[in-house]
Structure 1
Amino acid sequence: MNAPLTLSTHSAIAEIPSDVWDRLGDGNPFTTHRFLDALEKSGSVGPGTGWQPLHLTIERDGLILGAAPLYAKSHSQGEYIFDHAWAQAYMRAGGAYYPKLQCAVPFTPATGNRLLSPDPEVRRALLSGMTQLAERGGASGVHVTFCTEEEAELGAEAGFLPRVTQQFHWYNRGYAGYDEFLAALSSRKRKALRKERQRAQAFGGSIRRLQGDDLRPEHWDAFWVFYQDTGSRKWGQPYLTREFFDLVHQTMRDDVLLVLAERDGRPIAGALNFLGESAVYGRYWGCVEDHAFLHFELCYHQAIDYAIEHGIERVEAGAQGEHKLARGYLPAPVHSLHWVSDPGFMGALAQYLDQERSAVDDEIEILTDWGPFRKSDS
């Protein structure tokens, strides 16, 4: 008979051995120990940020069999699966929506395993442990965001409410080059993208892709300026600190692809991607000069070029953005799980999510049909 499973919480990822944590992961760069550690050591999450680490591990006989990135949240910022309306409704009804528990990677709308274990029993125990922590700690509920479809199904069996939203992803159909990808598009879209790339690349400078030891501190200095500009316009203030990028350089420079546009020897725009085993993940963009279509070139077309050249399965270009459709990115479902302790509110959420799933399914079907691919290839 197996010994019982034991649940433990950790206020810092550094409390868990990196080799143990990474052994349980799926190769996704964002759930690696080094990425989560960079967030914490840089002060991007932790005291004063509204993201308080509360990571879980499951042990049996002293051996860690499973883990999950977990945070106590005092707001709903930096999540990208939006529940602001839920929070307002909950508080109008007299409840305290915050704190809540969030099983996620902060500021990172990229799908990957959140229940880090190959054993379904352990994954179920992680979900059960989260709800017990919420009840004991006075949190309103638990939210598991950007999980895999398999985890969503497991969570639904465990009493969580599954939610489906959407992003736009580009899929590599074994293209030999960008021209072969263009050949799969309708004639009008093909001509439009050729013209767009020509205009973007005529900005008066050059475009470079940097990774690994090609990355230098001055490249991060330039990108920090870009990131601050974009962050201040989108969120009021950037989520990540400057030190975060230094730590990424130290521990993850082989896992990133920085695309820089330079003019007169000076970086003027950049797009930062993280590299997984099967995907290029577009994360941040910024510029100090505006040039027609340069954003699309650095963020979307260059990522496609890289994926084709390296035989990578797909490009995930982040949250939202129907403009990505015209660049060959198709709508893809995104999964999350939600549980609240109040039974009445849980029932209302279940009804809402049923209706939302139907609407999202319809939208994905319509947008796919509107996509740029020739109908015989879509």
Structure 2
Amino acid sequence: MPNLILSHLAELTPAAWDALVPGEQPFLRHAFLSSLEDSGSVSKRTGWTPAHRALTDADGQLQAALPAYVKTHSFGEYVFDHGWADACERAGIAYYPKLLCAVPFSPVCGPRLLGQPEAAAQLMDWLTEDLAEQGLSGAHVNFTDEFADAQMRAREGWMERLGCQFHWRNQGYRDFQDFLDNLSSRKRKQMRKEREQVAGQGIEFRWYRGDELSEAQWDFVFACYANTYAVRRRAPYLTRSFFSLLAERMPTAIRVVMARQAGRDVAMAFSLVGGDSLYGRYWGCLDEFDRLHFETCFYQGMDFAITEGLQRFDAGAQGEHKLIRGFEPVITRSWHYLLHPGLRRAVVEFLQQERAGVLAYAEEARTALPYRQG
């Protein structure tokens, strides 16, 4: 099958690409990935040069694909290899550029090798064949599903790295009170108090779909999002036009909850819906309000999932404060293929030690969950 490296997803039609994407995964849809590119959020200038891999048959029909980027830094990945890069710099080894197979700025697990298994396996073999020829130090595949995990384990040279996130599961709750009834008394009182503190400030919430927001409201969404970076003296990853493009291309997958006080919006949380899951992505607030972050980012999403019958709420990476609110530890996986033999040996040793620590951490984290014993 002919191999292709695509510098822009627009080289493929949305129908051809999306035919390979599982329906429940919004982050891999042509609309999401192309909006990143067309908005300038992903580009050579930002250190994310699109280099998508694709296989076609003799008739030019797409058989398998993989979203990929040539990276000149390690920001926006949520699988942290800065230490590896620093060690390479001290040793005079070039770590960048590298090839990254992932969804930019979105630490969400899911398929990475798209297409029929046989074609996807062939794509996997090709991925590492021309790294040296392209001047790349290695390849990295982040937040994989079980199929990709199996493909990596079957091939020499790929190193597995574990991580830990926190996801909330809807256990068939009738409403939020039903969820609270499953918690220990102390944790139940704490959550009630947090929600009452927000309501006591006169803050109300309303949910919107992507096609229900005006451009002025999208201006507000972006201002809130950008402010979360400004307070850390950093530039936001996403541009303003990304939000408008996404709202135009996949509006029904978008959910935005607005927090409103005294007739004006004061905060927001941006999420996507796919299959049985709600994915919380971005949040922001332009003023300071006690406990508003927990209500907007967690309790509102949990309430929404219960109302809509969704089974899972993935509110993003990290955050031990999610544990006491019912988000359970989930092991994530990424895979790394490094060409330099000395670096590869050092990383293998590091990952063995890190793996034990991650598993122990996830097990210990479960003791902080708020659910009643038994």
- TM-score normalised according to structure 1 size: 0.95
Contact in 1 for aligned 2:111/2:147 (Cα 8 Å): no
Asked whether the equivalents of residues 167 and 319 of structure 1 are also in contact (C-alpha less than 8 Å), the reply is yes
| Alpha-carbon separation, structure 2, partners of 1:248 and 1:231 | 21
* 2:147 corresponding residue in structure 1: 150
What runs of 5+ residues in structure 1 fail to find an aligned partner? none
What residue in structure 1 maps to residue 366 of structure 2? 368
Partner Cα separation in structure 2 for residue 342 and residue 124 of structure 1? 24
Cα deviation for residue 44 of structure 1 reads: 0.4
Contact conserved, 1:26 with 1:112, CA < 8 A, in 2?
Answer: no
In structure 2, runs of 5+ residues without a counterpart are none
Residue number in structure 2 paired with 1:253 = 251
Q: How does 1:260-275 map to 2 (within 5 A)?
A: 260-275=258-273
User: Equivalent pairs: percent with the same residue?
Assistant: 42
Contact 1:70–1:104 (CA under 8 A) maintained in structure 2: yes
TM-score by length of 2: 0.96
Tell me how far apart the structure 2 counterparts of residues 23 and 57 of structure 1 sit (CA, whole Å).
13
Match of 1:231 among 229, 232, 235: 229
Paired position in structure 2 for 1:19: 15
In structure 2, the residue corresponding to 1:332 is in which secondary structure? strand
The Cα of 1:33 is off from its aligned counterpart by 0.1
Q: In angstroms, what is the RMSD of aligned CA positions?
A: 1.3
- Give the C-alpha shift of residue 91 in structure 1: 2.0
Provide the rounded CA distance (Å) in 2 between the counterparts of 1:154 and 1:349: 20
Q: Distance in 2 between matches of 1:267 and 1:139?
A: 46
For residues 97 and 19 of structure 2, the distance between their equivalents in structure 1, rounded to whole angstroms, comes to 31
Secondary structure of residue in 1 paired with 2:115: coil
Question: Shift of residue 198 of structure 1?
Answer: 1.1
What's the CA shift string for 1:108-149, capped at 9, x where partnerless?
Answer: 111111111231x32222222221232210100001011113
Paired position in structure 1 for 2:347: 349
Q: 2:31 aligns with which of 28, 34, 51?
A: 34
In the TM superposition, what are the counterparts of 1:52-201 in structure 2 within 5 Å? Answer: 52-61=49-58, 62-119=60-117, 121-159=118-156, 160-201=158-199
Deviation at 1:253, TM superposition (A): 1.8
Separation in 1, partners of 2:339, 2:204? 55
Mapped contact 1:57–1:68 kept (Cα < 8 A): yes
Number of equivalences? 371
Displacement of 1:327: 1.1
C-alpha distance in structure 2 between counterparts of 1:88 and 1:47, whole Å: 22
Structure 1 position 153, deviation (Å): 2.8
Contact 1:145–1:336 (CA under 8 A) maintained in structure 2 = yes
1:328 is matched with which residue?
326
C-alpha contact 1:124 1:158 (8 A) present in aligned 2: no
Q: Residues 269 and 296 of structure 2 are in contact (CA less than 8 Å); yes or no, is this contact kept in structure 1?
A: yes
SS in 2 for 1:24: coil
Q: Provide the rounded CA distance (Å) in 2 between the counterparts of 1:118 and 1:239.
A: 33
* Partner in structure 1 of residue 285 of structure 2: 287
Q: CA offsets per residue over residues 321-358 of structure 1, 9 Å max, x none?
A: 10011111111111111000112221221221122111
Spell out, residue by residue over 1:166-197, the C-alpha distance to the aligned partner (whole angstroms, 9 max, x if none): 11100111111111111111111111111111
